[in-house]
Amino acid sequence: MALFDSLFGKKKKEFKAQCQITKEPIEKGYGYLLTTAQIVASEKYWDMIMTEPETMSYTLSHFKNQSSGTQMRSMIFEKYATVEKAWIISDSIINYFEVDKSEARENAKKWWEAEGNFTPTDIGPAAKVMDKSIFTKFKEYAILEAGRERVALT
């Protein structure tokens, strides 16, 4: 019966991952595991997010002093800042974040070994785990300043 089960039984689905920022596939055992607080605490990340094709119109509106653009940027910030789980990210985006790369890599290895069930410390929404003044600083940057250098207003 064991032979029959091994031939026709259900195979365990292979655990796969993709970068939660770039959507590129990540090979098993690779990548970096970051917390939402680490993601939120990156001006480079916010500059990228607020100038993507999907968000550029809101950024342009914001810098033209249109409240609807600022409101949408605030909603975009909240979408990312309230993520409860850890973020698995690829090698191509890690340099956007000022983190201990060796620790983030080790956490990713643990995450892979646990098939996505490992959680590092300080997990949860950024507002709950970050110092309030630091959270506010990055929130204000993301909503009010991110992308300014990349936007040419006429």
Q: What share of the chain is helix, strand, coil (3-state, %, to 5)?
A: 50, 5, 40
- Dump pLDDT digits (tens) for 95-152: 999 999 999 999 999 999 999 999 998 999 999 999 999 999 999 999 999 999 988 7
Residues 6+ apart with CB under 8 A from 35: 86, 87, 120, 121, 122, 123, 124, 129
- Dump pLDDT digits (tens) for 9-56: 566 678 899 999 999 999 999 999 999 999 999 999 999 999 999 999
Average of per-residue pLDDT values in the chain: 92
pTM: predicted TM-score of the whole model, two decimal places: 0.87
Calculate mean pLDDT across residues 69-76. Answer: 97
pLDDT of residue 13: 78
